[in-house]
Amino acid sequence: MSDTPSVLSGITVIDLSHGLAAALASMFMADNGARVIRVVSDESEVVRKPDIFAIYDRGKEVARLDTDSSSERLREMCDRADVLIDDPSSTREDLGLDALTDRNPHLVHCSITGYGSEGPLKNEPADHDLVAARTGILASQPSYRGGPIHVVHPVAYVGAALLASLGIAAALYRRETTGRGGRVQTSLMAGALLYAPKAVGDSIPVRPSNMTPQGGGPFYSVFECADGEWIQLGCIHSGFVDLAAAVIGVAATIYSNPEEYGDGRWPRDEQARKKLFDLVAEALKTRPARAWIEDLRAADVPCDVVRSAHEAMRDPQILHNGLVHRLDDPVLGLTRMTGLPIKFSETPARVRGPRPDTATHNAAPPQQSPSFPRKREPTHSPNATALPLSGVRIMEMTNVIAGPVAGRLLADLGADVIKFESPDGDISRPAGGAGFIAFNAGKRAMSVNTRTDEGKDIARRLASVSDAILANMRPGATDRMGLDADTLHALNPRLVQSHITAYGWDGPYAQRPGVDPIAQAITGLQRAQGGYDSPPVYLSALAPCDYTGGALGALGTVLALIARERFGIAQKVDTNLLASGSVMCADDFLDYDGKPPRRLPDSDQMGVGPLRRLYETADGWIHLAA
């Protein structure tokens, strides 16, 4: 197994950055086989603080270059590299970064800035809390006191890392046919906006948002039970509401008042919503959490108990998915940390070792691996300026957020994404809200009944002329559509099969229904946002596991397309919402002896200290980051 190549085996990445976003992006490259060389000028930069770099710098090398010879040596390294990553902290006028792709036309040069390379904010500090404040992230979530909240999770830099990785992968895919690299640019602002897509218009209905930090939907919120533990319900459609209402004992109330309560998801008005919400909350307060979970699961209701990340790292499904990895770090000792969020059936990712604690002095330029030569020399293709995924066809079978977001990202990169829906459509389509429109822009769509033989035949014909299928259903759902893995491979041996599931493709929870808030609850995101000794907070507006999962699904799909071009391998790709949560709360998915407690928000959700928090002024709110 160790001899099996990973997707990026033979690829060399030069990392000049110092920020967290670029470090996470290059970690994704290293985990998938790339040789990542961090370049530093001083021995003190070899082992970085904070401790999360024990995760983000794993599997990389460090090269220390003397100041007097560093510029030419760096240029020589970049001349033979495949990818260069920089951020605002690595700006070097002496190196001439913009000219490096002229010297080496194979090079993919990725820059991660705070707000973009142009515009009025281009020189502002690239601080993820300030970016979140500017992009509306902090104002998107209800608070106990009114006004914005300090969001403890690093959505801006995680989003930027995912977008950078996806951009690099798309550029490498295009290079397989053109021989040319090119420039990739993203920003923390773009990363934040990944979690806050906007679609505004007079004809776009505005859906009600959460009314409290625990939620707003009577069957889609987090509730306290008799033992002080909390459970998250995730009844995303009326069928689940019916099941949950029967178990909880409020079904008769809903059915006897349909004009007031509707199907239980969207009561008639705010008064009716609050009344039904309170009925559910009062009922759930009568029994311990585990007793409710046992009965709700028996009825196939999406639900789970809210946990800390420390508890999550012992969860059997998380362990089954390989999301906890043991590594002997040279500074921290034996650690347990975030594992591999994307699985490839034929070109597996691997954690290649701990971060180094010493640097190679004046490292020689990287040599191209003879096992993985570049496919072709640069050509002057008539499609040289086309989007990197132009000509790629994606058959998308998705609902709600994670899957549609993956398809939207692929469409943005030039893929022809065909949204393949049942006659009833995506379950989010009837709402027609800003989210649905944003997630599905740039796609084509078709509606087919795959319960019929004719519908199954249409599905197979589309799969036979596609480059990848993209699905976010429970494992086995595509089999029932006539699209099982063996059939698909026989129809189209070059087809990539990409799946985003709630819990993973197999394992103890694989067949449970799941949604973003339940993944938030399981992986510790809700508990961390609530802070110490405070109720958990359900981050509904951010849906961090959904958006992260969508980006991971898109990244896995493009990496699999690269593997197909490099090695002639078409394979299955799998990621899940639990993996998304482990990436988003990696600070907490790091455990070692003597680890100090993480700084969490105060009970008012204002911040984590006097110099990093929200303050109310005479005319609004500001966020201080010092």
Q: Catalytic site residues?
A: 546
Tokens of 147: 């006004």
Tokens of 189: 């602002």
For residue 613, list its beta bridge partners.
607, 624
Tokens of 428: 């989010």
Nearest partner of 340 among 32, 571, 52, judged by Cα: 32
Is 155 in contact with 192 (CB distance < 8 Å)? yes
Taking the C-alpha atoms of residue 466 and residue 450, their distance in angstroms, rounded to an integer, is: 18
CA dist 414 → 127, 189, 210, 443, 558 (Å): 31, 22, 35, 10, 12
Taking the C-alpha atoms of residue 422 and residue 594, their distance in angstroms, rounded to an integer, is: 53
Taking the C-alpha atoms of residue 292 and residue 314, their distance in angstroms, rounded to an integer, is: 22
Nearest partner of 403 among 612, 577, 524, judged by Cα: 577
Taking the C-alpha atoms of residue 183 and residue 142, their distance in angstroms, rounded to an integer, is: 39
> Taking the mean position of all CA atoms in its chain, how far away is CA 500?
11
Please tell me the number of Cα atoms within 13 Å of 31 on its side-chain side.
Answer: 24
Cα radius of gyration (the chain): 24
DSSP state of 234: -
Is the previous residue joined to 50 through a cis bond, with omega within 30 degrees of 0?
yes
What is the widest separation between alpha-carbon atoms in the chain?
81
Taking the C-alpha atoms of residue 505 and residue 513, their distance in angstroms, rounded to an integer, is: 12
> Taking the mean position of all CA atoms in its chain, how far away is CA 51?
21
Helix (H) or strand (E) holding 303: strand 303-305
Taking the C-alpha atoms of residue 337 and residue 20, their distance in angstroms, rounded to an integer, is: 16
Nearest partner of 247 among 280, 209, 296, 210, judged by Cα: 296
Phi, psi of 463 (to 5 degrees): -60, -35
CA dist 114 → 161, 189, 337, 382, 485 (Å): 12, 6, 27, 33, 42
Three-class SS of residue 415?
coil
Taking the C-alpha atoms of residue 495 and residue 572, their distance in angstroms, rounded to an integer, is: 9
Taking the C-alpha atoms of residue 584 and residue 547, their distance in angstroms, rounded to an integer, is: 10
Taking the C-alpha atoms of residue 561 and residue 552, their distance in angstroms, rounded to an integer, is: 14
